[in-house]
Structure 1
Amino acid sequence: MTEILRLENVSKAFGGIHAVNDVSFTLQEGEIVGLIGPNGAGKTTLVNLITGVHPLTSGKVVFAGTDVSRQKPFQAARRGLARTFQIVQPFPEMSVLENVAAGSLFGGGRGGMAEAMQAARDELEFVGLGHVAEQPAALLSLPNRKRLELAKSLAMKPKVLLLDEVNAGLNAAEIDGALELIRKIAARGITIILIEHLMKVVLSISQRILVLHHGELIAQGDPQAVVNDPRVVEAYLGAKFAARFATPIAEGASNG
């Protein structure tokens, strides 16, 4: 497999608070990697560092062999680093189609509006929203707003897609549909980092798992081995409860 993304000793401090501390890992082309950790572990901050939203305090981000540590978000998008947001906020007065076309123009390197609109139509069909393309985005349900967010990201022609809590707020049937769509995205050759709170979801789709706790990478590797790692159990349950409960958190627990 070919390396597509590498983090070397990446850190981010906000004043005296170390939100991310000395994180290193590599991502191979075509992988689906779960990124988990308790609330406040630094997961979204790490995504923001990878995509240029926040500058690094120290360390290095290498994407497709290029040092991109100082990139801006628009540069990340045009290189092929796309992301979704935990709180979905489409342009409400614009149509569903226009929202996706905006993503295509911003990050996809399209030649002009006609090409961007065609790319938007293609991605809307792919995510199952072709039938609502002309509707105002404000009228979409939460599950369809999530699909719109995916279509916008796909229109940027990403090589790596970072999905931040894409299943938050969805019911079981909607989550199943979202996972099917994520698998279809991966089948296109797009590498995926999935930030997720539901452990069953992570275990069902991830080839590897990375675990953050207090901004530090405390475990990574095979999903079943990682979620049964004593350090991971303690991070979720606390030392006192981890010692009392021997049942692996992989048996259906959520990380809250």
Structure 2
Amino acid sequence: MSDYLRLENVSKTFGGIRAVNDVSFALKQGEIVGLIGPNGAGKTTLVNVITGVHPASLGRVIFQGEEVTRQKPFQAARRGLARTFQIVQPFPEMTVLDNVAAGALFGGSPEGLAEAREHAHRHLAFVGLDPIADQPAASLTLPNRKRLELAKSLAMNPKVLMLDEVNAGLNTGEIDTALDLIRRISERGITILLIEHLMKVVMSVSQRLLVLHHGALIAEGEPQKVVNDQHVVEAYLGEKFAKRLKEMGHA
């Protein structure tokens, strides 16, 4: 498979702080790739650069052969570069249905609100929320707000979906349900970049891992190889956790 999304020597600075430092990698169509690293490593900033929230200070972002480094967020959405947010903030007074319809309209595919709502019903059914489509988003539990966020991003008709801490705050059963949804999304041919702190999650679904530390990419490759990398152990996992992963058969 050829590169679908490619970053070439991308850096992002805020004043004197370099949040992303000379990062290069490529994603293939349909891959699930985990992006891990300590808090403050630059993971969310990197997603913000890809999706046009923050323009890159240096380097290039290439999507489907087109340079998109200076795109705006709405342009990224309409090209098929969608993302969820670490802190889930739906439009609280709007219904679940209209939250997802708003995502569809932002993505630019429906021609009007009626068509956007048709799209929304389909995506809500996929994540299991269609029975409560008419409830206000403010009434949702955290797991259902996470599902709503996923439905909103799917309504944008993504080609690449960046999931930022989508499992944070969920219990084991809820995480298993979320992982099943992630696998089913991947089966549609959608490329997934999964930002995640839970190593059990990234090890179970990711085909490759990327590791950021102080804004720089310090490791990349198959999960078993990456978690055995001494730089990753020192920067992120720690010796005890790396040993436990080996004992669990993940490394």
Does TM-score exceed 0.5, indicating one fold?
yes
* CA-CA distance at 1:4 after TM superposition: 1.0
Cα distance, 1:120–1:247 mapped onto 2, change above 3 Å: closer
Q: Relative to structure 1, is the Cα distance of residues 137 and 247 closer, same or farther in structure 2, using a 3 angstrom cutoff?
A: closer
Q: How many residues align?
A: 248
Q: How does 1:87-236 map to 2 (within 5 A)?
A: 87-236=87-236
In structure 2, stretches of 5+ residues that fail to align are none
1:173-212 Cα distance to aligned partner (Å, 9 max, x none):
1000000010011111110000000011110000000000
Q: Could you give the per-residue CA deviations for residues 75-124 of structure 1, whole angstroms, max 9, x where no partner exists? A: 00010000000000000000000000000011142111111110000000
Give the C-alpha shift of residue 251 in structure 1.
4.2
Q: Which TM-score applies when normalising by structure 2?
A: 0.96
Q: In 1, distance between residues paired with 2:207 and 2:2? A: 15
Whether contact under 8 Å (1:37, 1:213) holds in the other structure is yes
Superposed CA deviations along residues 108-157 of structure 1, whole A, max 9, x for unmatched, are 42111111110000000001001000000000000000000000000000
Give the gaps of 5 or more residues in structure 1.
none
> Is structure 2 residue 250 aligned with structure 1 residue 248?
no
* 1:33-70 Cα deviation digits (max 9, x unpaired): 00000111000000000000001110000011110000
| Aligned twin of 1:36 | 36
- The match for 1:76 is 76
Distance 2:245 2:12 in 1: 30
**Contact between 1:227 and 1:248, CA under 8 Å: does it hold in 2?**
no
Equivalent residue of 1:209, what SS? strand
Q: Distance in 2 between matches of 1:110 and 1:137?
A: 22
2:13 matched residue in structure 1: 13
| Partner Cα distance (2:52, 2:111) in 1 | 25
Q: Is the 8 A contact 2:101 2:152 kept in 1?
A: yes
Does the CA contact (< 8 Å) of 1:224 and 1:250 recur in 2?
no
Cα pair distance change 1:97/1:22, threshold 3 Å: same
SS of the residue corresponding to residue 245 of structure 2 reads coil
What code does the residue aligned with 2:58 have?
A: S
Contact in 2 for aligned 1:96/1:136 (Cα 8 Å): yes
Secondary structure of 2:243 counterpart: coil
| SS across alignment from 1:55 | coil
What code does the residue aligned with 2:213 have? H
Q: Percent identity?
A: 73
Is 2:43 aligned against 1:48? no
Find the residue that maps to 1:218 and give its secondary structure.
strand
Is residue 199–residue 252 contact of structure 1 (8 Å, CA) maintained in 2? no
Q: Which runs of 4+ in 1 moved over 4 A?
A: none
Offset of residue 247 of structure 1: 4.9
Name the SS for the 1:135 alignment partner: coil
Equivalent position amino acid for 2:155 in 1: A
